[in-house]
Homo-oligomer: A and B are copies of this chain.
């Protein structure tokens, strides 16, 4: 179920390192090199498969990763998006 504006604000206040852009949660990360960026992306991919909830993942500039999370079926943010974001924070 799509979260209300108030619920999004409240959830976001308890989530470090992510920002909101329109209907998305976004986190940008930088790594020492491409190999480490890919290793992180694979950990994120395993978690995404476990949750059956898949972020968009951009690997760019050989060492940077941008993660974008939303729930396409509702066209906005749900509790599952925040849960995925929290789990990803545990993988960094």
Task: Give A contacts to B, CB under 8 Å.
Answer: 34-35, 38, 41-42, 45, 48-49, 54, 56-62, 72
Q: How far is the CA of A57 from the CA of B62 in the complex (A)?
A: 10
Q: How far is the CA of A87 from the CA of B8 in the complex (A)?
A: 44
Residue of B nearest to A64 (CB): B56
Q: How far is the CA of A48 from the CA of B41 in the complex (A)?
A: 15
Q: Which of the residues B38, B42, B45, B61 comes within 8 Å of A34, measured between beta carbons? A: B45
What is the CB-to-nearest-CB distance from A62 to chain B, in angstroms, rounded to a whole number? 4
Residue of B nearest to A68 (CB): B60
Assess whether B48 is in contact with A56, with CB atoms less than 8 Å apart. Answer: no
Given the complex, which residues of B lie within 8 Å of A62, measured CB to CB? Answer: 54
